[in-house]
């Protein structure tokens, strides 16, 4: 019989193997973390280090980004999912900690997706057996005990929400708790609210209908989310140009 420690080691080894195979399958893409190689001596995967840590830590330290960054990063986050889903990969753990902020030039910070150890890919016969953190988890995934394109999209809506607000749904800034009881209470509360179809108020946020659509299962694909997001951006630009057009008449 395996001890708890041995089972934990087996899980870590499995996750390393799943991540290595999926990243090789996905190939080099600007929206996924750069995989370098397997380090046999350290039994670890070697990645290109993100210059500005995770999206979660970046916003915790720097606050809500500028409007331009919000639009850019949100589209890049959606593009992350659109790409991996197109390749047949379900991430299974979409949350702010699993998006990295990296300087791709002296003037540009960009987003890429990381942590594929719990991901699944039918073509490769891989299932990392992961589910998102409760704050980003569609409760129906608990009932079905598996993640899907729909559960990734559900989680995506909350990442878009986080980029504009700087906090997780139904709580203030930060993502740590003082006690285990506090964390459990929060997890139970958000699960109860989601099951009741209650989600954060997004009427005041840009593209709030895209977020709400992610939570209410309006989208069948990340590509559809991306199309709706681009439409919202185009409409915003049009509305900004309208006053200028009126002044000229």
Domains by residue range for the chain, with CATH? 4-248 (1.10.510.10)
What token pair was written down for 61? 């330290």
- Round to whole Å and give the CA distance between 95 and 159: 6
Question: Any idea what DSSP says for residue 46?
Answer: E
173 bridge partner residues: 167
Predicted confidence at residue 145, as pLDDT, reads 72
pTM attached to this predicted model: 0.89
- Round to whole Å and give the CA distance between 148 and 150: 5
Per-residue pLDDT tens for 3-15? 665 566 566 667 7
> How many C-beta neighbours within 10 Å does residue 65 have?
20
Q: How far is residue 61 CA from its own chain's centroid?
A: 19
SS3 62: helix
SS3 249: coil
Q: How far is residue 234 CA from its own chain's centroid?
A: 23
Q: What is the mean pLDDT of residues 209-218?
A: 98
89 bridge partner residues: 121
The lowest-confidence range among 155-169, 173-187, 193-207 is 173-187
Strand order in the sheet with 120-121: 89-90, 120-121, 126-127
Q: By percentage, how much of the chain surpasses pLDDT 70?
A: 85
- Round to whole Å and give the CA distance between 133 and 148: 15
Average pLDDT, the chain: 87
With CA atoms as reference, report the closest residue to 99 among 110, 89, 86. 110
Per-residue pLDDT tens for 9-64? 566 667 778 888 999 899 989 999 876 444 444 444 444 455 678 999 999 999 99
């Amino acid at each position: 019989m395996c001890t708890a420690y041995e089972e934990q080691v087996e899980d870590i080894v499995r996750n390393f193997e799943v991540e290595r195979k999926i990243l090789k399958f996905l190939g080099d893409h600007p929206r996924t973390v750069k995989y370098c190689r397997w380090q046999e001596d350290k039994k670890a995967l070697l990645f290109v280090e993100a210059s500005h840590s995770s999206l979660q830590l970046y916003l915790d330290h720097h606050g809500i980004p500028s409007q331009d960054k919000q639009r850019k990063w949100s589209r890049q986050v959606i593009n992350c999912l659109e790409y991996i889903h197109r390749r047949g990969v379900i991430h299974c753990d979409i949350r702010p900690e699993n998006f990295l902020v990296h300087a791709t030039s002296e003037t540009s910070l960009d987003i890429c997706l990381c942590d594929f150890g719990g991901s699944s890919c039918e073509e490769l016969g891989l299932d990392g057996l992961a589910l998102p953190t409760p704050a980003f988890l569609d409760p129906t995934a608990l009932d079905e005990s598996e993640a899907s394109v729909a559960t990734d999209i559900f989680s995506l809506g909350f990442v878009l929400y986080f980029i504009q607000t700087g906090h997780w749904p139904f709580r203030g800034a930060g993502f740590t708790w003082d006690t285990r009881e506090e964390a459990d209470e929060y997890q139970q509360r958000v699960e109860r609210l989601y099951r009741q179809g209650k989600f954060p108020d997004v009427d005041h946020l840009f593209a709030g209908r895209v977020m709400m659509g992610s939570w209410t299962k309006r989208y069948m694909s990340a590509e559809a989310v991306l199309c709706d997001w681009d439409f919202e951006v185009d409409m915003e630009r049009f509305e900004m140009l309208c006053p200028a057009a009126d002044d000229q008449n």
